[in-house]
Structure 1
């Protein structure tokens, strides 16, 4: 899915990842979304996605682990 983000949260773990403090445990891979929680709207879905459609409002917890 492709999301248009309206809001994100930046938690302590997020800035620690960006600063490289947690790099031994959580190496950054690009593209990197520097956030743990996001809210926005579905722009596009792939062929296997059946529960969402373009225009749906969504929230998501992104897991870096």
Structure 2
């Protein structure tokens, strides 16, 4: 086993995992309420569309 394999498969994964965990932890601690699901914003905007007057009106039982 040469040094390139040792670095690539033994050292680098632990470095990447450490950066990942500490990065997410620091982001959570500094911007806790900034974390949100982008899909919920999309669904929220879509639900606003249904309340507008120009929304498509479906027959009763389909809305």
TM-score tier by shorter-chain length is under 0.3
RCO higher in structure (CA 8 A, sep ≥6): 1
* Structure number with higher strand proportion: 1
Higher helix share: 2
